[in-house]
Amino acid sequence: MSRLHSPKIFKFMTIIFMVFLCLLFNYLTQINWVKIELPKGKPEYIGQGARGIIYAKNGNILYNLVSQKLWQYPHDELIYMSNIKAIVYSETLPHQIKYNLTADNGWVKYTNHTGFLGDHAILIIPNDDNKNNDTKNTNSPVTIYGKNINLDFTTNKFTSKEDVKAVQNRSMISGHGFNYDKNTEILTINSKVIIDYLPQKEIK
């Protein structure tokens, strides 16, 4: 009767297998492993028809953002967008709108609450007095038209070095370059200032 296996053959095959593993391990340790990275010139991801809502720590809505397209590059904290529509709310007063933003293109950086509006940018800043529902208050929001506007939502300051036009009620001011401070509600036009002022109509 023949035996199905031999102890000698088993030991021999075990030795051969161990030698093979040692050679393979030695080969792998000599390989110069290189980390695979995505091309920096191509987006890491692209989103179509994107909408995002960001909440503050207290649960109130902070940002409501809609974009036709958004994308982000590897190792870049900026999120780029096209056809932007965004609403920024007060962190402490629920549902109170601080700004309405639209632009053909731009970016946001959530880590430091900054942003940028590119071409055909419109920044609408509601009048804080309207939050008291004062029917005698006829001040409309300040609407700023421009491009290449830098946004800082931490300091509530916005700047641009391009031509700008601001409209409130029936009055308009235009010029080149501006600084707006929401805290003081002061708009400063840097140069080439033109003012077209018309008194607002009184509500009796």
Residue 158 in contact with residue 180, Cβ under 8 Å? yes
At residue 23, the pLDDT reads 57
Residue found under tokens 């953002």: 65
Q: Looking at the structure, give the CATH architecture of the domain made up of residues 45-196.
A: Sandwich (2.60)
Mean pLDDT over 173-185 rounds to 92
Residue 133 in contact with residue 153, Cβ under 8 Å? no
pLDDT digits (tens, 9 = 90+) for 2-61: 444 556 555 556 656 665 565 555 554 554 545 556 666 788 878 888 888 888 888 888
Burial of 143 (0-12, 13-18, 19+ CB in 10 A): middle
**Residue 144 pLDDT > 90, yes or no?**
yes
pLDDT digits (tens, 9 = 90+) for 97-117: 988 999 999 998 878 889 999
**CA pair distance 143, 165, nearest whole angstrom:** 8
Lowest mean pLDDT among 25-29, 120-124, 143-147, 160-164: 25-29
**CA pair distance 95, 71, nearest whole angstrom:** 28
SS3 of residue 21 by DSSP: helix
Distances (CA, A) of 124 to 28, 45, 98, 166: 61, 30, 9, 10
This model's pTM is above 0.75: no
Give the residue, 204 or 160, on which the prediction is more confident: 160
The domain limits of the chain are: 45-196
